[in-house]
Amino acid sequence: MAAAGTGTTGPWEAPVRTLLRARPGDSPADVDARATPGFGGRKADAKPALAAAGEELSELQERLFAHGRTGGDRSVLLVLQGLDTAGKGGIVRHVLGMVDPQGVALRAFGVPTPQERAQHFLTRVRAALPAPGRIGVFDRSHYEDVLVPRVQGRLTPAEVDSRYADVTAFETEVAAAGTTVVKVLLWVSRDEQHARLRERLTRPEKHWKYDPQDVDARLQRAAYEEAYTDLLARTSTDAAPWYVVPADRKWYARLAVSALLLEALADLHLGWPEPAYDVAAELARLDASA
């Protein structure tokens, strides 16, 4: 396993940001959602690998937090997108759940309220950006503001262009201000989505997760695939790249996202901040107070 902060690849054949980075022309429809790119192991191997990643993640997150508390301007923003049941909640629970909750700022975006609709679509997103030192997580995001109305036929092509221009300008500005933006598209296959939705309907403890609109969106899968293909082509920039994560195997998706976060944090090369006081003098003062 890699040492904290070295940016090496741990159990991976190559950096995950290289393996999973969306390339222009990529369509998620071509992704094998059951694949496990770059990870030679099986489910049983994923458990210790995730725990090890969690330890590293935890240390790097603490360094980021310390950096923020001492005037630093860096932060990380994980944007999670995916069709219903892709596993966004599981990423939050099992990956972000491995680090100190004080350092994580989670925001889930639902259908905009009438007040939100009256504002520019990026206003609510801007208000949810992580403060310095934090890992921000968006469970859905400003991308829903293009995907949903587009698939529902409520945006003209010119309005789509205009929204994407706003999105890329916004993300470039966010990145320049010190936030590493990591955008993850969790990709679940049609069959696996069917099985997961079925489970939500057949297990009473999962009924609360089901929304009748999930089937409506499922029936529009081809339109979502097309919209996502265009989204990847237009918004995967160097300032804010997209990663397409095969998500039929939850253990793989969780491991891959933990690695993407780890790589983003390691790239910041954060040490522990220098104290703003004289350590030796304070030690002497403390001991004299005993």
- Which of 7, 37, 54, 112 binds ligand AMP (CB under 6 A)? It is 112
Output the smallest distance, CB 84 to Mg ion, in A: 5
CB distance 106 to 46 below 8 Å: no
- Should residue 169 be labelled a site residue for ligand AMP when binding is judged by CB under 6 A? no
Output the smallest distance, CB 152 to ligand AMP, in A: 8
- Should residue 170 be labelled a site residue for ligand AMP when binding is judged by CB under 6 A? no
- Should residue 110 be labelled a site residue for ligand AMP when binding is judged by CB under 6 A? yes
Please identify, among the stretches 11-19, 40-48, 139-147, 279-287, the one whose residues bind ligand AMP according to the rule CB under 6 A: 139-147
CA-wise closest residue to 258 among 57, 18, 40: 57
- Which of 14, 35, 51, 111 binds ligand AMP (CB under 6 A)? It is 111
- Should residue 122 be labelled a site residue for ligand AMP when binding is judged by CB under 6 A? no
Nearer to ligand AMP, 85 or 258 (CB): 85
CB closest to ligand AMP, residue no: 144
Nearer to ligand AMP, 216 or 278 (CB): 216
Output the smallest distance, CB 274 to ligand AMP, in A: 42
Nearer to ligand AMP, 109 or 164 (CB): 109
Nearer to Mg ion, 30 or 216 (CB): 216
Structure tokens at 160: 């789509």
Total of residues contacting ligand AMP (CB under 6 A) = 10
In the 3-class helix/strand/coil scheme, how is 20-43 assigned residue by residue? Answer: CECCCCCCHHHCCCCCCCCECCCH
Nearer to ligand AMP, 144 or 230 (CB): 144
CA-wise closest residue to 80 among 178, 168, 185, 10: 185
Please identify, among the stretches 108-116, 159-167, 191-199, 234-242, the one whose residues bind ligand AMP according to the rule CB under 6 A: 108-116
CB distance 60 to 119 below 8 Å: no
Nearer to ligand AMP, 145 or 248 (CB): 145
Which residue ranges make up the site for ligand AMP (CB under 6 A)?
A: 84, 109-112, 140, 144-145, 148, 213
